[in-house]
Amino acid sequence: MGSTANLIERQKINAMYQKLQGIIIRRRRQELNWSQTTLCAGICAVSHLSKIEQGKAEGSPEVLRLLLQRLGVEWRDDPDFCMEASAWFEEWYDLLFSGESFEKLESALAQRQEEFQNSPFFLDWLMLTWLTTGNPPENVKDYVSVMDDRQYNLYLCMTEQFQELLRISDRSYFLLAAGTRPFWRGDYEKAVVCFQRGMDQAYREGSLRILMKCCGNLGACYSCLNQLEQTRECYTAASRMARSLGRLKDMAIMAYNLATTELQLGLPEDALRHLLEQPWNEAVYFQKLAICYEQLGQKDKSRSALNQALTAPMTVFLDGTPGETEEIRGIFKQICELIRIRLDDANYLKNPEYGNILIACIRSMKKQLPMGFVQFHAGWLEEWYVANRQYHKAHEVLRTFFINRTK
């Protein structure tokens, strides 16, 4: 019984490989601008080639070899290569689904591109290259019919078809990815559900890095929902996990997020402690440091931190979000200018420049950043409206950002 099942499985795999070869033959023929007649002359009938290219007929290994050879494709499927390549990809898949970084994988895939492109491992190479570079392959839908389950799951993930993906897979890596989409669209309740499920599944899998990431992202959701005690709990737990895993960058990000939460709760001393315990050469770190010192009345230290914020690199902006866009850099500069005005002008609430920058900054944040970031700065907006007797607008700020705050 077992040998029969294994035979059937091998036959299925061979059929998929032959269909994959048919797609590669068609794509390569089209790249060379050859007709089917030119390609198959002396090898097989045009009608047979047409069926091979459409996946409607299985070509014999000899016919497929001759077609690929004529196209200049050196197909690699010898046992030693397949055994080594299979182990190579399994190792990378294990690292990927445990939450490891893509940085080394991208260069490793590039180095072995020629080997994998013309082999049964072409789709593994294609999907992982897409995942690491973010560049969708041309006509990737052509390959869906010959993908195995793992490749198809990655395809669904990369095309953000999460409803279908989570119907067939509950892997924590996919739950983490599924939660990220609604988070950036402002559907924080839906993101909470995904990240909570991701944490539960990561625990069952023993995927500690995924567990840490889901926990940190859950904290970001609670921040956007103004549930600050839950935010603090999640960031604290994620920080402990990052420390246990020895992930210095994640430790710094969580310390930054904890400091932000403590500032929102009116605890600048605790916020400063988090930042000083985990120094980080990032612009956003020094910006928060400047705000801590400002709120503690230590203006000279605040100015020093602000100067460092303006010269330090900015590679992340809020919980690992890429900070290279001009829009986000513009917001960052506006925040720094607001801090500078508050430090230098005791009457800043009557300074029209301060009000104009603040209102423009909040407006930009709403478009570019999660709601938690807007909420952090909303207190200064309410303060401005009250000082300038715009009480209706001040009430709207209070109603939107503070009345339902959970402490």
List pLDDT tens digits, range 291-313.
999 999 999 999 999 999 999 99
User: What letter does residue 148 receive in the DSSP assignment?
Assistant: -
> Quick one: pLDDT at residue 1?
47
Tokens 């045009």 appear where? 46
Highest mean pLDDT of the ranges 75-84, 128-137, 347-356: 347-356
Which residues, 6+ apart, have CB-to-CB distance to 315 below 8 Å? 282, 322, 323, 324
Fold classification of 2-70 (topology level): 434 Repressor (Amino-terminal Domain) (1.10.260)
Please compute the mean of the pLDDT values over residues 152-178 and round it to a whole number: 96
In this structure, which amino acid lies at residue 247?
A: R
d(CA 103, CA 110): 12
Can you tell me whether residue 147 is helix, strand or coil? coil
Give the pLDDT band of residue 12 (cuts 50, 70, 90).
low
d(CA 315, CA 238): 21
146, 157, 343 from 149: Cα distances, Å = 10, 12, 58
Summarize pLDDT for 243-282 with one digit per residue, the tens.
999 999 999 999 999 999 999 999 999 999 999 999 999 9
d(CA 378, CA 388): 16
User: How many other β-carbons are positioned within 10 Å of the β-carbon of residue 95?
Assistant: 15
In this structure, which amino acid lies at residue 197?
A: R
Domain residue limits, the chain: 2-70, 79-159, 281-407
d(CA 334, CA 327): 11
Summarize pLDDT for 185-227 with one digit per residue, the tens.
999 999 999 999 999 999 999 999 999 999 999 999 999 999 9
- Whole-angstrom distance between the N-terminal and C-terminal Cα of the chain? 62
Q: Is 395 exposed, middle or buried, given 0-12, 13-18 or 19+ CB atoms closer than 10 A?
A: middle
Say if pTM beats, i.e. exceeds, 0.85: yes
| Total residues found in the chain within this entry | 407
Residue 407 confidence (pLDDT) above 50:
no
